[in-house]
Amino acid sequence: MNKWQKRLYSRYGSWAVVTGASSGIGHAMALRLAEAKLNLVLVARSQHVLEQMATDLGDRYGIDTRVVRLDLAEETGVDTLATITQDLDVGLLVAAAGFGTSGLFLDSQLDQELEMLNVNCRALLALSWYFGQRCAKRGRGGLVLMSSIVGFQGMPFAAHYAATKAYVQTLAEALAVELTPMGVDVIASAPGPTNSGFGARAGMKMGKVLHPEDVAQATLDTLGRKSLVLPGLLTKVLVYSLVPLPRWARVRIMGRVMHSMTHA
């Protein structure tokens, strides 16, 4: 193990829970944690993908895994996960499950928007509360919450998705202050456009994008050192170029960007 892998294991081992583990950033996070020899609870809706992951990671890294097929949009999802993991010494939560939509808000399907609210916010809140308590009781641990650069201002043509990420961002910022004295590290990871399958589901045409592996590596490198990470040069350029502008201007600029991605 290299230095950062040893730090992850000593600080958060021996078990980590990764939601959204079957694809994208969640999948990349699981791979990085497996390299650090953390045992993994892999959570997603794709049973076959998770089982294959568990086999591959066990054979390659010699770790233990537990597969949990779960839809976090369901109200009982977090309770189910809590019961399944209650016998494990979980020291790290990576809440990577989530999805987005795009287009005019009034043209959206309310059922889909409510499902997104359940996954991106309600489930993340419950997971943070439950595993935050467990980590605080053991005196060490970590929460990785996936924010986004769209969470720093409103975003026309992805209005509700940006709102869910603003929720994640502000929650993570506050929890970092509250939980650090208890030995629990909290980080908000706010990447820019990422090649994670998000764009396809949201109906977006994306140009320059980050790779999930780079987002995962930057996030885990920063965990325990800062409460916010902007993974990748592209993310930093997009965020810092807007910082000097008033909020109303940032909203309109981001709206034009999103409009071009959804109407190309």
Active site residues: 161, 165
User: Hey, which residues does 19 pair with through a beta bridge?
Assistant: 43, 95
The Cα–Cα gap between 236 and 245 comes to 15
Of 12, 130, 16, 14, nearest to 79 by C-alpha is 130
Quick one: DSSP state of residue 154?
-
User: Hey, which residues does 43 pair with through a beta bridge?
Assistant: 19, 68
The Cα–Cα gap between 137 and 184 comes to 10
Contact 95, 128 (CB under 8 A): yes
Structure tokens at 12: 């958060």
Give backbone dihedrals phi and psi of 204, rounded to 5 degrees, phi first.
-115, 150
